[in-house]
Amino acid sequence: MEATAEKFIKLIEIMSKLRGKEGCPWDQEQTHLSLRQHLLEETYEVLEALDEQNFPALKEELGDLLLQIVFHAQMAGEENLFSMQDIIENINNKLIRRHPHVFGDERVESAEEQIILWEQTKLKKEGKKSAIDGVPRQLPALVRAYRLQNKAATVGFDWPDINPVWEKLNEEIAELKQAIQKNDKGWIEEELGDVLFSIVNLSRFLNCNPEDALRRTINKFIKRFQLIEKRFTRQNRSLQQATLAELDALWDDIKKEEKKNAD
């Protein structure tokens, strides 16, 4: 632990030097706003390493993400806003405050109870005005919907079981079909949003994160599509020369091969 602390201090010192008068011009020019995209990219690279279960890459990407945190702390310190010490102290206090069942007298018997306690603690002790506060607007819409629904559920705004969730999804699909029949683009967009929101709700009852599920399907699509491209390349043909039936049959063949390899 002591060696880790020393290396962390060394990282802070390196960043301070990079931002100093004798440092790197690029690092010196950065601002909190200019680093936003880098922070986002590093976060997604961590997710990619996790999806691939690539732990050597995860180690590297977590380091890159940590660098972004140190970078922002250094700039904030230069402006006398806050320091890395303030960041660490704040998260320490937050973890203790939001886990009264570990550091206090509360009792929690399950992860579900802990989630409810976590949100209730934020409402009672941290001045949150709404149960659904704290979900960043910048989140991808799918993740944001999932987080908002989870937060609302902690105060009882939820279906008792999955059956009415299915009914609501079917209701929204029927309304989308009506909008399509009317060819009303504004209405279609609204109803499509309702269908997507209902599917996110369904995913909660299935204990399946919709963002993870969709990302997995996207990766699967990329892999299959590129296999089709390679097969056509070997035949000196382009996809445009194929019929839809031929492409569909090839897609099914790839799916069968995947299933066979999985078995």
Answer yes or no: is pLDDT of 125 > 70. Answer: no
Q: Element (H or E) spanning 185, and its range?
A: helix 185-205
Confidence of residue 127 (pLDDT cuts 50, 70, 90): low
Range 153-174 average pLDDT:
95
Answer yes or no: is pLDDT of 232 > 70. Answer: yes
117/66: higher pLDDT: 66
The CA distance from 42 to 20, in Å, is 24
Confidence of residue 13 (pLDDT cuts 50, 70, 90): very high
Question: Which one, of 96, 98, 146, lies nearest residue 122 by Cα?
Answer: 98
Hunting for tokens 């607007």 — which residue is that? 137
Range 174-182 average pLDDT:
97
Confidence of residue 50 (pLDDT cuts 50, 70, 90): very high
pLDDT of 1: 78
The CA distance from 88 to 12, in Å, is 13
The CA distance from 68 to 40, in Å, is 10
Answer yes or no: is pLDDT of 23 > 80. Answer: yes
**Domain spans, the chain:** 2-95, 159-208, 212-262
The CA distance from 112 to 165, in Å, is 19
Looking at domain 2-95, which of 3.30.70.20, 2.60.120.40, 1.10.730.10, 1.10.287.1080 is its CATH number? 1.10.287.1080
Confidence of residue 229 (pLDDT cuts 50, 70, 90): very high
